[in-house]
Amino acid sequence: MSRPAAITFKGNPMTLVGEEVQVGQDAPDFKLHAFGPAGLTAITVADVKGKPTILSVVPSLDTGVCQTQTKKFNEKLGELGDKINALTISLDLPFAQNRFCGAEGIENIKQYSDYQDRSFGNNWGMLIDELKLLARGTFVLDKDGKVVYAETCKEVTEEPNYDAALAALNAAL
């Protein structure tokens, strides 16, 4: 399934692959990868159950808006510590994500890549067909893996609603 003109990128209509994730549904599965001291590791929806989770989705950490989004969430999530799971998801390679977050001191939100099979992009309706990048958005899951907040930014170059996402995350605590 695809959703033509679901979003825009610099004003140009773009198609999103997959169904739109809705509040109230179970979180669709994914398999994401990270690079750390243990090498490449994978994470799935099952791994984030047990704590409220925020998923910050960005096209690429090599762009200004994506960097701003990651830095803002990193700053705002610091006080919640290990009470939550916090993930930044992009199609950047895990090594590049690790390099950026290390250089910028990003410690409160972990970076994960959907580069291998795009399971997140396809299952969450966030893969931009024309660009083969993820759309920008934010999701919050409760401790049982139910979606309690879902935002897909209508224009890829605009930042998400940080306050609404954080309010949903705090309500899930």
- Just list the catalytic residues: 66
Secondary structure element (H or E) that encloses residue 161, with its range: none
Taking alpha carbons only, the member of 79, 13, 124 closest to residue 112 is: 124
Taking alpha carbons only, the member of 118, 123, 111 closest to residue 40 is: 111
How far is 71 from 125, CA to CA, in rounded Å? 24
Q: Is the distance from CB of 148 to CB of 23 less than 8 angstroms?
A: yes
Burial category of 137 from C-beta neighbours within 10 Å (exposed 0-12, middle 13-18, buried 19 and up)? buried
Q: How far is CA 155 from the centre of its chain?
A: 16
